[in-house]
Amino acid sequence: MANLVTDILSFQDVSIAHRTLRGAPTRIIDGVSFSIPARGAFGLVGESGCGKSTIALAAMRYLPAGMTITGGRILVDDRDLAGLDEDALRTLRGHRIAMIYQDPMSSLNPVMPVGAQLMEVPLLHGTVDTSKARARAHEMLDAVRIADPTAIMRRYPHELSGGQQQRVVIAMALMAEPALLIMDEPTTGLDVTIEAAILDLVRTLRADFGAAILFISHNLGAVARVCDSIGVLYTGRLVETGPIAPVFRAPAHPYTRGLLNALPRVDAGKTRRPLQPIEGAIAPSDRARIGCAFAPRCAHHRPNACDDRPIELQSASAASGHTARCGRLGELTVTQAPALVGNSLSEGAGDILLSVRGLSKYYHAGGLFGSRGAVVRAASDVHLDVRRGRTLAIVGESGSGKSTVAKVIAGLVPGTSGNAMFRSVDLVPLPVDKRSWDVRRAIQMVFQNPDSTLNPSHTVEYALMRPLQRLKGLSRAEARNGARRLLERVRLPSELLQRLPHQLSGGQRQRVAIARALAGDPEILIADEPVSALDVSVQAAIVNLLGELLQSSAISLVIISHDLALVRHMADWIAVMYLGRVVEYGPADLVLSAPFHPYTEALLASAPTPDPDAPPPAVVLGGTMPSPSQEITGCVFASRCPRKIGPVCDTMQPCVRRSGEHEIACHIDLMPAAGAVGADT
């Protein structure tokens, strides 16, 4: 009797090297073994550069030029990929294996309607005719929960939202009913509500289509939500593997514990545990180490146990399949994250430094022949305060208006109406070039991508000296000394002063951007998604740095973010925005522990938690945000609200009601949406 194939994908001691013309090959993947059974979901996690995407490409036999498999076997349905010719590979790809990339636009043709692109798959891989292919495309769009599939099929990719684009790519992957879906960072860059919907969809697809999943992500919460087992990758080696529950509850390898300890938690309640960034960074020499590749960054490192011999995966707990690659596996007893500690979540403390009242910013969309098009309401009647020495977080989905408010405050764009009073100066009508040097110095901004703000042709020293000379009038010698002190302030060595931006890591570039913003001794620092593009351990270091800066000075921080876990960790006050309006505002403890507004409730429920025992989100927000050019007479959230109470939500704009310092714009009675204790009106 023939052996039954139980694994869809199997890596058996696979090693991959990158060969160049200049020297010896570099080891990228080293002896990786794992398998995914039918209907199984395996999560692969690790920092940038650890080899996650290389494994995904190897599973499709898509390795780029210069990379070769130097050892082991990759089996799909018990067939070795190395032995398949191009025709067999073409049949395998799409029919048995499909890959979903981080950026959906890299998989979609911008000049073809969505329907035509979906229909190509069965037409190329099967024998169906056009009408059946069209029906199949409609069926798949419906399966991935896209509203009005008929209309979506006629649209081009640029006419869809990011969440819709990702769903179309998933539908395209499912068209040929593959046995394995490889998902490479499928939710990175998406709003938390869209991410929750995509993760919920992935769980459903496993049940409905029986597809196995290789889920690659740096988001441990997403992996905990959708996967059965996990592999933790470091410099191309699996350092820990096993079922989700034992790995998350009792991580055995110091690197796995480091990743979990570096995460802020949205479920932390009124307490904050200190984030523990993993010190150091991956060095090229780590890949060639005989012993533990993580040893140079490990607090538990001992030369005789970690450096002298190869370290194999060993059983890490009584749980079946839980293994770890650690030379001190039996000695280490600290397996849990540090206990939660008391914090200083502020409740109203701090003098008001900046008062924003009625701030609106409208644009006119381009019309034909120079005419003015529809009015785009990027921000409408925004009220909030920035308090001295405190952190205000502005949260919401893409298109909610949070970055627009930040840009008006920073002077990057003028506002349309309202006021933002800072030192008796109204900032709303004043772009930055119309502001006094003193006001420019006092309000600085740090952007999500430091590459867009650091000149690639200028050294770090030049980038720091220029604002010191212009904003503070220092001489060249004084500015040079000041640049060195700024680097010390953000905990970077002075030898980086002569480097160019491309010679720095992502975390180092973001620290330089923060140092430059600090050059003028600002009173308000605006950080627009400052850590969203960074690895989790680097995120923790930047978050801790910002916290230290606030404690050591009277700087006020305005942080723009869609990461609710980060907001809970950092914020003293929170403004929740939707479609240009603030729908909930108040002290962070009140807003996050007992959300009154249904939108705030949906944001909190959507945030993935790195806990295998966490229940599915109570609310998965459907639909998409209306266009900011659409005239809305009622509540801006009414079209998506799961707690809509009737026609009043569509016809009447809700008044802002207050409970102490807590403000809510909603027609529902002032009772917490999450079921916590009520508030006084």
Each residue's pLDDT tens digit, 45-56: 998 889 999 999
Q: pLDDT tens digits for 156-201? A: 998 887 778 888 998 888 887 889 999 988 887 778 888 888 888 8
Nearest C-alpha neighbor of 200 from the set 134, 145, 279: 145
Residue 556's pLDDT band, with cuts at 50, 70 and 90, is very high
Tell me, yes or no, whether 408 and 288 share the same domain.
no
Q: What pLDDT, on a 0 to 100 scale, did the predictor assign at position 4?
A: 53
Residue 376's pLDDT band, with cuts at 50, 70 and 90, is confident
Tell me, yes or no, whether 445 and 366 share the same domain.
yes
Residue 50: DSSP 8-state: S
**Residue-wise DSSP of 312-341:** --EE-SSSTT-EE--TTTTT----SPPPPB
Q: What pLDDT, on a 0 to 100 scale, did the predictor assign at position 1?
A: 40
pLDDT at 335 over 50: no
Tell me, yes or no, whether 380 and 302 share the same domain.
no
Domain range enclosing 389: 352-457+500-589
Tell me, yes or no, whether 427 and 547 share the same domain.
yes
Residue 558: DSSP 8-state: E
- Among 78-82, 231-235, 412-416, 626-630, the least confident range: 626-630
Q: In what order do the strands lie in the sheet with 7-18?
A: 26-37, 7-18, 67-76, 79-80
Tell me, yes or no, whether 274 and 407 share the same domain.
no
Contact yes or no for 625/194 (Cβ under 8 A): no
Q: What pLDDT, on a 0 to 100 scale, did the predictor assign at position 558?
A: 96
pLDDT at 357 over 90: yes
pLDDT at 368 over 60: no
pLDDT at 646 over 50: yes
Q: What pLDDT, on a 0 to 100 scale, did the predictor assign at position 41?
A: 95
Tell me, yes or no, whether 289 and 364 share the same domain.
no
In a domain, 510, yes or no: yes
User: How many residues make up the chain in this entry?
Assistant: 681
Indicate the residue among 537, 563, 589 that finishes a domain.
589
Distance set, CA 234 to CA 237, 281, 676 (Å): 5, 11, 42
Residue with tokens 């929170």: 574
Q: What pLDDT, on a 0 to 100 scale, did the predictor assign at position 340?
A: 38
In a domain, 422, yes or no: yes
In a domain, 229, yes or no: no
Tell me, yes or no, whether 384 and 308 share the same domain.
no
Tell me, yes or no, whether 527 and 578 share the same domain.
yes
pTM: 0.86
- Distance between CA atoms of 15 and 17, rounded to whole angstroms? 7
Higher pLDDT, 435 or 504: 435
Nearest C-alpha neighbor of 533 from the set 192, 164, 53, 48: 48
Q: What pLDDT, on a 0 to 100 scale, did the predictor assign at position 175?
A: 85
pLDDT at 533 over 80: no
Q: What pLDDT, on a 0 to 100 scale, did the predictor assign at position 620?
A: 76
Q: What pLDDT, on a 0 to 100 scale, did the predictor assign at position 218?
A: 84
- Distance between CA atoms of 132 and 126, rounded to whole angstroms? 11
Residue 248's pLDDT band, with cuts at 50, 70 and 90, is very high
Indicate the residue among 288, 309, 324 that finishes a domain.
324
Domain count, the chain: 3
In a domain, 189, yes or no: no
In a domain, 572, yes or no: yes
Beta bridge partners of 240: 232, 324
What residues contact 416, with CB distance under 8 A and at least 6 apart? 360, 361, 362
- For residues 544-558, give the mean pLDDT: 87
pLDDT at 432 over 60: yes
In a domain, 515, yes or no: yes
Q: pLDDT tens digits for 382-422? A: 999 999 999 999 999 888 999 999 999 999 999 999 999 99
Q: What pLDDT, on a 0 to 100 scale, did the predictor assign at position 671?
A: 55
Q: What pLDDT, on a 0 to 100 scale, did the predictor assign at position 371?
A: 54
If one counts every other C-beta atom within 10 angstroms of the C-beta of residue 461, the result is 18
- Distance between CA atoms of 532 and 654, rounded to whole angstroms? 33
Q: What pLDDT, on a 0 to 100 scale, did the predictor assign at position 2?
A: 43
Q: pLDDT tens digits for 598-623? A: 999 989 888 888 888 888 777 778 77
Contact yes or no for 38/210 (Cβ under 8 A): yes
Tell me, yes or no, whether 431 and 538 share the same domain.
yes
Torsion sign, CA atoms 124, 128, 132, 137: negative
Indicate the residue among 539, 570, 589 that finishes a domain.
589
- For residues 252-264, give the mean pLDDT: 91
pLDDT at 44 over 70: yes
CATH assignment at residue 372: 3.40.50.300
Tell me, yes or no, whether 356 and 319 share the same domain.
no
Distance set, CA 16 to CA 97, 169, 591 (Å): 21, 28, 49
What does pLDDT average to over the chain? Answer: 86
Q: What pLDDT, on a 0 to 100 scale, did the predictor assign at position 518?
A: 92
Residue 680's pLDDT band, with cuts at 50, 70 and 90, is very low
Q: Read off φ and ψ for residue 319, nearest 5 degrees.
A: -65, 135
pLDDT at 43 over 90: yes
What residues contact 523, with CB distance under 8 A and at least 6 apart? 353, 388, 442, 443, 554, 555, 556
Q: What pLDDT, on a 0 to 100 scale, did the predictor assign at position 145?
A: 79
Residue 380's pLDDT band, with cuts at 50, 70 and 90, is very high
Percent pLDDT > 70 in the chain is 91
Tell me, yes or no, whether 443 and 584 share the same domain.
yes
Where do the H-state alpha helices sit in 96-157? Answer: 114-125, 130-143, 149-154
Q: What pLDDT, on a 0 to 100 scale, did the predictor assign at position 294?
A: 94
Tell me, yes or no, whether 316 and 357 share the same domain.
no
- For residues 543-555, give the mean pLDDT: 86
Q: What pLDDT, on a 0 to 100 scale, did the predictor assign at position 337?
A: 43
Q: pLDDT tens digits for 73-94? A: 999 999 999 989 988 888 888 7
In a domain, 203, yes or no: no
